[in-house]
Structure 1
């Protein structure tokens, strides 16, 4: 599936952060705005930004891979986050991850072929009292079980 990107938006983002006509722009805010625009950091946008900022693609990629907030792959239509913090881990997060991998046919960090689902782990989502916690499309679900996660996936399909 070939996706076209409006790279003029990258031009606008870099221009917004350029200082008095200098080519160098602050990397993190530029990457944050690119991700806000596209939902992730497409390679085409990264290449364009590196050219406009007179910065190597390797340097931009280094920043993008260092910080957890940046995504190098698009999310699915439905995004699931499994908390893997201590409380959630002890109360069954690994079992939930296995269930999602089995049910969706992808590994943690992946996206289904039809881009309907993606899922990842998070170090902590701050809801330890109701562990294990799964966040589905931004909505928190506490005391999660394999059965409930399967039901949620069935509803979303």
Structure 2
């Protein structure tokens, strides 16, 4: 598991705790571990979209499971972030169809435009760029995900427009 020097304030608000309890209630008594994935999503959303080791330990405590059971899930799934990320995380699909259609070139262009390497956060905290495995939109390659939304048939011009829209607050991240 990746160790970070980033400090994260753990803030389990009454509203978040209510949501966690509601998620746990969907599973039989004693099977609260089954709520792990949705609970991690809720907790990550409430904590600047990342999960420190301390926060993962808190989730384990809330679900009455061992911390290693949380670590295994967080380190397996790419949708869980183990360090701070930018407000807008550009997730470029890097598997076959997107690769053939120059996704790596689009990702490199984006990194150069923002002045970061994959996995880094821009100095202003606005952007991160990462490569991810298949996002299931092969017919629309090359593509990337920003928040809950796909951006397809990417070109340099489309990327420039998305970056500008993010800078002025026009990009919606979640479909909630």
Q: TM-score scaled to structure 2, two decimals?
A: 0.66
Q: Which residue of 1 aligns with 2:120?
A: 110
Instruction: Spell out structure 1 runs of 4+ moving beyond 6 A.
Output: none
Unaligned runs of 5+ in 2: 1-5, 168-176
In the aligned structure 1, how far is the partner of 2:161 from the partner of 2:46?
32
Aligned with 1:150: secondary structure?
A: helix
Q: Does 1:153 align with 2:158?
A: no
58 and 14 in structure 1: CA distance in 2 versus 1, 3 angstrom threshold = farther
**Structure-2 residue corresponding to 1:88:** 98
The alignment covers a number of residue pairs equal to: 155
**Within 5 Å, which residues of 2 pair with 1:9-28?**
13=20, 17=24, 25-26=32-33, 27-28=36-37
Q: For the Cα contact (< 8 Å) 1:78–1:137, is it kept in 2?
A: yes
User: Does the 8 A contact of 1:131 with 1:143 survive in 2?
Assistant: yes
2:74 to 64, 69, 73: 64
Query: Aligned with 2:135: secondary structure?
Result: coil
Match of residue 123 from structure 1:
133
Q: Deviations over 1:101-122 (max 9, x none)?
A: 2122222233223220122223
Contact kept? 1:108, 1:119, Cα under 8 Å: yes
Structure exhibiting the larger radius of gyration computed from Cα positions: 1
